[in-house]
Structure 1
């Protein structure tokens, strides 16, 4: 029996909601055409556009409610301001962010990537190339998240080792025992109480700091 195909990515587009600018506004007309082409490309590639949200004070709450898989920023020329709002809105729940913009001034691309933007695409992208760009952006995001998790785990392990070493030192000094005995007592206490070794060590350190 073939496995079910994966559900399409749920995408939120952050952009001006209107695709019908004033006829005399040439710049707005071109932006609307680019935005329309982007949305067509997303739909043709099989993505699920669950919402188009404006940049306003309600953006963080709306994103938290919708929980999209990816955020596509369809920015006008003021891309920097839009990005700041989107990055702030996703700082507590990271998601891949792909920016499509008509701003050819790429002097702040580095800052945008550093702030959390996964892919930065200047206008001119054909609709059939939208999917490869988003696929790469998702793969890059997942890779970076794995690295972020591994780094956090490594830091946590280092911190735990430091606490354990300090707790061993306290036991060795106060109970006049060797390092192996101090470690054995820490381990036995952890097993008896159903705690992690680092948790027992932290309690010993906390009590030692309290008593001086």
Structure 2
């Protein structure tokens, strides 16, 4: 990948911190935050909003997996987790917390460079699917509202389906609003008219 990334790193070993500070600029990236604990990593990510996080799992306080989960809840950011050894429990927890890559030390440039490229590609694909899913859900909700408003017009104005839809489109065009906004306004007005009048107490 050619894009320069702003990267936050976390490791309680000074030699690993220095390694990242040296190797990441060689790969064309910028180290924007260095943390020694999970809590510090979470705080620095909130301040810096990095494009990528590279974190050791074993750190004082909360570990890298729990820190990654907190960071993801704040704002989805891709994370590469690093460990001194292969551990099935770590891998399971990592998968459950949206971790896209797991590397085992020692980390070589030949390992890190493709790992960063793969993680960013996976993250972009994941975000696109996430947005598509949200857009699809919203589109279905909007369609339900429009259909309901169309049915209301058909009933109240004795219109056919096509004519009722054209009436909605005309209103949306005249008021420079989205079709679903006009539909909501009609349904809200109908609900207001259906509200029972308060009973008057006898004098």
- Shorter-chain-normalised TM-score: which range? 0.7 to 0.9
Larger radius of gyration: 2
Counterpart residue number, 2:199: none
Equivalent residue runs for 1:1-212 within 5 Å: 8-16=4-12, 18-19=13-14, 37=19, 39-55=21-37, 57=39, 59-76=41-58, 81-212=63-194
- Larger deviation, residues 192-201 vs 40-49: 40-49
Question: Which deviates the most, 6-15 or 176-185?
Answer: 6-15
- Runs of 4+ in structure 1 displaced over 3 angstroms? 34-41, 54-61, 77-81, 209-212
Output the CA distance in 1 between the equivalents of 2:144 and 2:96: 31
TM-score by length of structure 2 reads 0.81
Kept in 1: contact 2:34–2:41 (CA 8 A): no
Change (3 A) 1:108 1:162: farther
5+ unaligned residues in a row in structure 2: which ranges? 195-203
- Aligned CA distance change for structure 1 residues 7 and 210 (closer, same or farther; 3 Å): same
**Closer/same/farther in 2, CA of residues 128 and 56 from structure 1, 3 Å limit:** closer
Compare 61-70 and 106-115 and name the one that shifted more.
106-115
Gap change, CA 1:101 and 1:196, over 3 Å in 2: same
SS of the residue corresponding to residue 56 of structure 2 reads: strand
Go from structure 1 to structure 2 and tell me whether the alpha carbon gap of 1:208 and 1:92 turns closer, same or farther (over 3 Å shift): farther
Q: Secondary structure at the match of 2:4?
A: coil
Show the counterpart of 2:201: none
- Does the 8 Å CA contact 1:41/1:128 hold for their aligned counterparts? no
Q: Determine helix, strand or coil for the equivalent of 2:136.
A: helix
| Whole-angstrom CA distance in 1 between matches of 2:102 and 2:62 | 12
Q: What is the CA distance between 1:36 and its match in structure 2?
A: 5.0
SS in structure 1 of the partner of residue 185 of structure 2: helix
2: CA distance, partners of 1:70 / 1:64: 13
Match of 1:23 in 2: none
Which secondary structure state, in structure 2, belongs to the residue aligned with residue 91 of structure 1?
helix
Q: Whose RCO is larger (CA < 8 A, sep 6+)? A: 1
**Cα pair distance change 1:206/1:15, threshold 3 Å:** farther
